[in-house]
Chain A
């Protein structure tokens, strides 16, 4: 097993409700590896006319 740090941006579309946000993020993280640790470290409001927010995620994954 190897560990790697990840630091990436993820668009949060308005179609994803707040109560589904955790699952939305973990599904995206699990595409990259087995999740050890993560959190949202920054959010930018409404980056387009649809109200999409931009999340910055930092974490550690195992592969």
Chain B
């Protein structure tokens, strides 16, 4: 089958109009996967709280590993299923923990996912959200070692992919949370979520994704549809378990013996929001001369091609146009042939 492997990124915590909420870029990912035949994207795109979907054309790769893939450090190996383990932050209250365990059981009984076991961290992770998260979500955790230790315990028991559930401060009444729920702001916790999953990817090199544990929040009648997927259940764990259930294995490069399904040299394009060209995957793609499809998708950043003048960049108005460009790349159609006016071909003089 003809494919044009494409990376699709919607950076976490910069308030993207498409993809800045609760899995609201998932339909876009399905569109781009259909156009490319092979899309590599990250949990932030695919996870809609209780809702998610599998797509055989999509590789679900955590952000840190996705950057490594773009840099050419790893390849991806398709698997039929992962043996998923869950790390629970010891700060999670017992009732919320039970809710999460019931979700895991439901994913086994109803979806057939191989959720193997869980551990509770020896110490609380102690999430710290940056106070200046109004434009770019950020923060850290106080006890990263206890997180990594919990992951090692799961891997020692044969787990091949890790879901992490961390307790987040109860800020349901904060202005940031309410603005986000009404579709106007930045997801205030997504920056710390990225740090948590990056730590597992960096130090344990297995597929992983994060779901926050939050107390139930009061009904908001002004809820934006893009945030609604996070309001229809007690936990955000289902989408994480669905995504991880057949997330690809990470294969360190170079490798002599291990098989892989997708090598980074096969990537042809990367799709990113306009203004968000400052990430590692984009810069690595520029190093390789790949096509960058920069999509108008309102966000808080202004890192545009004005500062780079990178020639292989296509700026488009929406993801429907992006899908068209990917299709043209996949079929080897000269994009200039589609646009008007059409210039005559150039003569190269003997002196050139």
For residue A27, which residues in chain B have a CB less than 8 angstroms away from its CB? none
| Bound complex: CA A44 to CA B307 (Å) | 8
Contact of A43 among B140, B145, B278, B310 (CB under 8 A): B278
Query: Does A42 reach chain B (CB closer than 8 Å)?
Result: yes
Contact between chains at B307 and A43 (CB < 8 Å): yes
Q: Which residue of chain A has the shortest Cβ distance to B141 in the bound complex?
A: A3
For residue A1, which residues in chain B have a CB less than 8 angstroms away from its CB? 144-145
Which candidate, B78-86, B103-111, B283-291, B337-345, is the interface stretch facing chain A? Answer: B283-291
Q: Number of B interface residues at 8 Å Cβ cutoff, please give it.
A: 32
| Bound complex: CA A40 to CA B303 (Å) | 7
Query: Does A36 reach chain B (CB closer than 8 Å)?
Result: yes
Interface of A is mostly: strand
Contact between chains at A45 and B287 (CB < 8 Å): no
For residue A41, which residues in chain B have a CB less than 8 angstroms away from its CB? 136, 278, 301, 303
Contact between chains at A18 and B303 (CB < 8 Å): no
For residue B140, which residues in chain A have a CB less than 8 angstroms away from its CB? 3-5, 60
| Bound complex: CA A1 to CA B145 (Å) | 6
Q: Which residue of chain B has the shortest Cβ distance to A12 in the bound complex?
A: B307
Q: What 0/1 pattern do residues 23 to 63 of A give for CB contact below 8 A with B?
A: 00100000000001111111101000000010100101010
| Bound complex: CA A21 to CA B284 (Å) | 9
List residues of B (69-98) whose CB comes within 8 Å of A's CBs.
none
For residue B55, which residues in chain A have a CB less than 8 angstroms away from its CB? none
List residues of B (143-185) whose CB comes within 8 Å of A's CBs.
144-145
For residue B301, which residues in chain A have a CB less than 8 angstroms away from its CB? 41-42
List residues of B (122-143) whose CB comes within 8 Å of A's CBs.
130, 136, 138-142
For residue A21, which residues in chain B have a CB less than 8 angstroms away from its CB? 283, 286
Q: Number of A interface residues at 8 Å Cβ cutoff, please give it.
A: 25
Contact between chains at B195 and A37 (CB < 8 Å): yes
Contact between chains at A36 and B202 (CB < 8 Å): yes
Q: Which residue of chain A has the shortest Cβ distance to B201 in the bound complex?
A: A36
For residue B142, which residues in chain A have a CB less than 8 angstroms away from its CB? 3
Q: Which residue of chain B has the shortest Cβ distance to A46 in the bound complex?
A: B307
Query: Does B226 reach chain A (CB closer than 8 Å)?
Result: no
> Closest CB-CB distance, A46 to chain B, in whole Å?
10
For residue B195, which residues in chain A have a CB less than 8 angstroms away from its CB? 3, 36-37, 60
For residue A25, which residues in chain B have a CB less than 8 angstroms away from its CB? 283
Query: Does B64 reach chain A (CB closer than 8 Å)?
Result: yes
| Bound complex: CA A19 to CA B138 (Å) | 27
Q: What 0/1 pattern do residues 260 to 279 of B give for CB contact below 8 A with A?
A: 00000000000000000111
For residue B279, which residues in chain A have a CB less than 8 angstroms away from its CB? 39-40
Q: Which residue of chain B has the shortest Cβ distance to A21 in the bound complex?
A: B283
List residues of B (293-316) whose CB comes within 8 Å of A's CBs.
301-303, 306-310
Contact between chains at A39 and B287 (CB < 8 Å): no
Q: Which residue of chain A has the shortest Cβ distance to B308 in the bound complex?
A: A18
For residue B37, which residues in chain A have a CB less than 8 angstroms away from its CB? none
> Closest CB-CB distance, A16 to chain B, in whole Å?
12
> Closest CB-CB distance, B9 to chain A, in whole Å?
11
| Bound complex: CA A62 to CA B140 (Å) | 10
Give the interface centre of B11, B64, B138, B141 by most chain A CB atoms within 10 Å.
B138
Query: Does B53 reach chain A (CB closer than 8 Å)?
Result: no
* B positions within 8 Å CB-CB of A: 11, 64, 130, 136, 138-142, 144-145, 194-195, 198-199, 202, 277-280, 283-284, 286-287, 301-303, 306-310
The 8 listed contacts between A and B (C-beta, < 8 Å) are: A5-B130, A19-B287, A22-B286, A22-B287, A39-B278, A39-B279, A40-B277, A43-B302
Taking A19-B286, A40-B303, A60-B198 as given, write out 5 further A-B residue pairs in contact, using a Cβ cutoff of 8 Å, ordered by the A residue number: A3-B195, A18-B308, A39-B280, A41-B301, A60-B140
Please give me the 5 A-B residue pairs with the lowest Cβ-Cβ distance, nearest first: A40-B278, A22-B283, A3-B140, A43-B307, A39-B279
